Amino acid sequence: MSARATPGVAGAALRSLYPIVIGFTLAYLMQTVVAVSIDDYYSKVLIDIGIAIVLGVSLGIVNGYAGQFSLGHAGFMAIGGYTAAAIVYYGSIKLFGTKAIYGGSLGPGELLLCAGCVAGGALAAVAGWLVGQPSLRLRGDYLAIVTLGFGEIIRVLIKQTDDVVLSEKKVAAASWWSLMDNLGGGFGFIGGPRYIDAKNPFWVWLFVVVVCLVAYRLKYSNRGRQLLAVRENEIAAEAMGIKTTKAKVSAFMTSAFFAGIGGGLYAHELGNSMRPADLGFQKSIDIVIIVVLGGMGSISGAVIAAIAVTLLPELFRSFAEYRMIAYALALIIVMLLRPQGLLGLQELWEVEWRAVGRSIVTAPARLVRWVVTAPTRARAALKAAADRRQEDRS
């Protein structure tokens, strides 16, 4: 019955885990080959892209697959980030006796970072479960509002924590439990070891591969199709025997888990500030943009959008000021013209490029036709309105 009883155990294990091996290889290459051969600036941009991918793809699981709109992704990110930061900072002091970076590549310090990120993800998933309980039973737009409120609550709660991040001496004397309150308050969590920098992108890329793998295997599995069914028609999904509430909650938790990991990575990247103000509504919107633009339900779409959203402000310095305005317009225009997002449910390799090419080639002609026929249509609309008024009067 189970894998153990059959002879192909090794084969099965290999089949189930080989992408992780590839992920390790990729992350290792990014660290040892790419990071050393390119400028630190570009390497840093690459890391930012990686974290944006983790956040975007994870939001895509709940937003794209299950069709549940969450505006609290930054809240989950904050939970994960602060958890990881606290574990790594206070843990380093307790375990290694220093708050500085400890051990080399894959050394004890980095393993603590990994553990911190996973713990942060787990706590974020628990929070996802809590938030999902009331709101996933209700209509979609309530969920948006509740998650928005949730993100704000998280921000307020973190702000209320003690704004002193304890020094090495004090930490040694304090209990683990009492440290939970010293998260830096409104100033942010300052002083932790920054394991991720231009020369050390390993963990970011490892988690990028993990989140993409999870999203991919989920999407093309029975469970993933059930989520899509909920998104497409919740009543029909329930009528076919899918436990829709359970499906939604599990999507929400998976998504929150990786948001937490993204937060943990973000917290340990050199140069990022870990302040409540940076992890508010605006951050959630940044991630929503990635999903909506890339295509709701498309992993490769989210990756492309994450790259674009990270690169644009870098390419055009003046863009920063108009960034949010551009995003806002992009959201509205995409919803009006291509509501499913750039790629929709499709992945890059599933797109029928022939048809896309045709539609791009014919676009000018269609535009011309639209402009030429505009007066006719306007006249028709006016006439219809006049007719209606006439009818009203009679």
Range 196-235, binding other proteins (CB under 8 A) = 213-214, 217-218, 221-226, 228-229, 232-233, 235
Q: Does 33 sit near other proteins (CB under 8 A)?
A: no
Closest alpha carbon to 264 in 108, 63, 69, 122 = 122
Pair of tokens at residue 215: 């999203």
User: How is residue 232 annotated by DSSP?
Assistant: H
Amino acid at 157: L
> Nearest distance from residue 275's CB to other proteins, in Å?
13
Q: Does 308 sit near other proteins (CB under 8 A)?
A: no
> Which one of 34, 115, 144, 308 is in contact with other proteins (CB under 8 A)?
144
> Which one of 67, 109, 132, 184 is in contact with other proteins (CB under 8 A)?
67
Pair of tokens at residue 328: 């806002």
Size of the residue set binding other proteins (CB under 8 A): 80
Closest alpha carbon to 159 in 281, 283, 282, 279 = 279
Tell me the Ramachandran region of residue 39: left when phi exceeds 0, alpha when psi lies from -120 to 50, beta otherwise: beta
DSSP-based helix, strand, coil % in the chain, nearest 5: 75, 0, 25
Residue 76 backbone phi and psi in degrees, to 5? -65, -40
The stretch near other proteins (CB under 8 A) out of 91-99, 127-135, 310-318, 368-376 is 127-135
Looking at the Cβ atoms of 65 and 102, the one nearer to other proteins is 65
Looking at the Cβ atoms of 153 and 374, the one nearer to other proteins is 153
Q: Does 285 sit near other proteins (CB under 8 A)?
A: yes
Q: Does 390 sit near other proteins (CB under 8 A)?
A: no
Range 8-27, binding other proteins (CB under 8 A) = 8, 12, 15-17
Looking at the Cβ atoms of 139 and 169, the one nearer to other proteins is 139
> Which one of 34, 126, 145, 348 is in contact with other proteins (CB under 8 A)?
145
Q: Are 259 and 80 in contact (CB under 8 A)?
A: yes
Q: Are 179 and 86 in contact (CB under 8 A)?
A: yes
Q: Are 199 and 43 in contact (CB under 8 A)?
A: yes
Q: Does 57 sit near other proteins (CB under 8 A)?
A: no
> Which one of 198, 208, 292, 343 is in contact with other proteins (CB under 8 A)?
292
Pair of tokens at residue 381: 């609309």
> Which one of 38, 190, 329, 384 is in contact with other proteins (CB under 8 A)?
329
User: How is residue 269 annotated by DSSP?
Assistant: B
Q: DSSP per residue over 154-203, as a string?
A: HHHHHHHS-SPPPPHHHHHHS-HHHHTT-S-GGG---S----BSTT--HH
> Nearest distance from residue 272's CB to other proteins, in Å?
20
Q: Does 320 sit near other proteins (CB under 8 A)?
A: no
Q: Does 157 sit near other proteins (CB under 8 A)?
A: yes
Q: Does 153 sit near other proteins (CB under 8 A)?
A: yes
Looking at the Cβ atoms of 107 and 149, the one nearer to other proteins is 149
Residues 180 and 186: their CA atoms lie apart, in Å, by 15
Q: Does 254 sit near other proteins (CB under 8 A)?
A: yes
> Which one of 164, 172, 324, 384 is in contact with other proteins (CB under 8 A)?
324
